[in-house]
Structure 1
């Protein structure tokens, strides 16, 4: 009798999971395209256009990125600046962007994961997420090891890769709610 009941419960569970999966798919297929894609909030003090650069020193923080503690990410330069409360750049470094870029603007760190596998099959650590574009999550991360499987060239990725040392610094600096300013 016990094995019969277990089989019945397993069947009900499988049916429930399938139903929830179908309803989730149906809801996502009929949802408006704009729903779920993060929109940056751009205060007047921050320019979302190409920020002024110092031609003599590409590591110098561009102007027009706001004030206070923040992560500044320059799409055109593939560079990040970590800026503290006193407006001092505590670290700057180059990054390797994914295939999908966030829209220039101001975001907040929305979630973090210590270690996961990226959409490209590469184990990553110190993941700091701040945006989503058409269902692709955008965030900073550092490779933690070799790819578990070859990446599909057609996969859209939002992982902005850092070295492990830079990833450690980002992890300590960019906690939940930290501002991320994305500029051209």
Structure 2
């Protein structure tokens, strides 16, 4: 009997490339199967083995008060901006239209308000007053013709300060002055300013009467509007 040399069995080298390819193929097949059954929200399976999960679903994020806000809509057009209408002057302190030009005093009978206007049209001051309870002053342009630091009303009806006269009434001069006092008591309260209270003149709080006194020298225009 001849002698044979016992040969060692050949080594089998695992082919990792094929194993990886087979595993990847199995993964892709499994993902596609689950996606077809609706069990996995698959958007696409790319050649490199990357699985892209859909992100186009919109979400609502709950607010702290239980409300919800709709998520971004991607390429949706932003809402158009609508310009807000200009609001009218809510306080009624705007200088009335058609109230003259240049340096002047403006008195609005309906608003019971006065404006002190500089030469360039800038309003230096505006405040509420109390005009006459009777219609004794027509709209128009007047001018200051007399001033008195102190004055006493007709028939001892009260003491006034900073009297600036610009018109003539049926029985007495018409002008701006402080709220009259009688025996030290004001004939009206400051909270009543803005409503007609006098019997001819235009009453002002004392601080505003000082402003008028400093502003309206003799010859200053006074424009009265309805």
Which has the higher relative contact order, 1 or 2, with Cα contacts under 8 A spaced 6 or more apart?
A: 1
- Residue 94 (structure 1) aligned to one of 128, 148, 155: 128
Task: List alignment gaps of at least 5 residues for structure 1.
Answer: 1-53
Structure-2 residue corresponding to 1:131:
167
Match status 1:180 vs 2:222: yes
Q: Provide runs of 4+ in structure 1 moved above 4 Å.
A: none
Match status 1:159 vs 2:204: no
User: 2:182 & 2:203 partners in 1: Cα distance?
Assistant: 14
User: 1:168 & 1:109 partners in 2: Cα distance?
Assistant: 15
C-alpha displacement of 1:99: 3.6
C-alpha displacement of 1:143: 3.0
- Secondary structure of the corresponding residue to residue 171 of structure 1: helix
Structure-2 residue corresponding to 1:118:
153
Kindly report which structure 2 residues correspond to 1:13-32, keeping only aligned pairs within 5 A, or say none. Answer: none
C-alpha displacement of 1:137: 1.6
Structure-1 residue corresponding to 2:67:
none
Task: List alignment gaps of at least 5 residues for structure 2.
Answer: 1-87, 188-197
**What are the superposed Cα offsets for residues 117-141 of structure 1, whole Å, 9 maximum, x if unpaired?**
1236221100000111323321000
* Aligned 8 A contact 1:82 1:173 in 2: yes
* Aligned 8 A contact 1:126 1:141 in 2: yes
Please identify the structure whose Cα radius of gyration is greater. 2
* Aligned 8 A contact 1:118 1:159 in 2: no
C-alpha displacement of 1:159: 1.9
Alignment TM-score, normalising by the size of structure 1: 0.62
User: 1:133 & 1:117 partners in 2: Cα distance?
Assistant: 16
Alignment TM-score, normalising by the size of structure 2: 0.51
Match status 1:107 vs 2:142: yes
User: 2:132 & 2:177 partners in 1: Cα distance?
Assistant: 11
* Aligned 8 A contact 1:117 1:123 in 2: yes
Structure-2 residue corresponding to 1:62:
96
Structural RMSD (CA): 2.2
Q: Number of matched residues?
A: 126
User: 2:92 & 2:106 partners in 1: Cα distance?
Assistant: 14
User: 1:113 & 1:103 partners in 2: Cα distance?
Assistant: 23
